[in-house]
């Protein structure tokens, strides 16, 4: 079984500063993918970034980067130069690559990020 844990129910950051949102995971699959999604107050789910379990380098997408530490089973999202529009709920999710986990996303409980001006 797969499990995602996000231990920060809420985070606050000052505009233009960087913030790290924590995510730890547990799986017995040797191959898996990790995703981060953003859910603004309007409710849609927006894909931010992906990290494969065999990727040698940490993923980056613009102001988003993923601090992937495989041995610690953590996949923290780093948002640099925070903007007011970054205020939203953020979800970490994992997808297995084989067996009964194949294709299915398991989500964490989410972290609400508030960016202060």
Give contact residues for other proteins (rule: CB under 8 A): 4, 31-33, 35, 43-45, 47, 50, 52, 91, 93, 95, 97, 102-110
Residue 108: CB minimum distance to other proteins, A: 6
The secondary structure of residue 30, as a DSSP letter, is S
56's tokens: 């040698």
Q: Which two tokens stand for residue 18?
A: 């960087």
Strand, helix or coil for residue 86? helix
Identity of the residue, 96 or 115, whose beta carbon is nearer to other proteins in the bound complex:
96
Of 99 and 117, nearer to other proteins (C-beta) is 99
| CB of residue 104 to other proteins, shortest distance in Å | 6
Q: How far is the CB of 5 from other proteins (least distance, A)?
A: 11
> What is the biggest distance separating any 2 CA atoms in the chain, rounded to whole angstroms?
46
Question: Which SS3 state, helix, strand or coil, does residue 100 take?
Answer: helix
| Polymer length in residues for the chain | 117
């Amino acid at each position: 079984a797969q499990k995602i844990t996000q231990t920060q129910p809420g985070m606050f950051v000052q505009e233009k500063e960087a913030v790290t949102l924590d995510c730890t995971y547990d799986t017995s699959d040797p191959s898996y993918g990790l995703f981060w999604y953003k859910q603004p107050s309007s409710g849609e789910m927006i894909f931010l970034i992906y990290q494969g379990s065999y990727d040698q380098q940490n993923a980056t997408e613009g102001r988003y980067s993923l601090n992937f530490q495989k041995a610690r089973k953590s996949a923290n999202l780093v948002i640099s130069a925070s903007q007011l529009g970054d205020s939203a709920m953020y979800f970490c999710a994992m997808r297995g690559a084989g067996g009964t986990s194949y294709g299915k996303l398991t989500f964490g409980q989410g972290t609400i990020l508030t960016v202060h001006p």
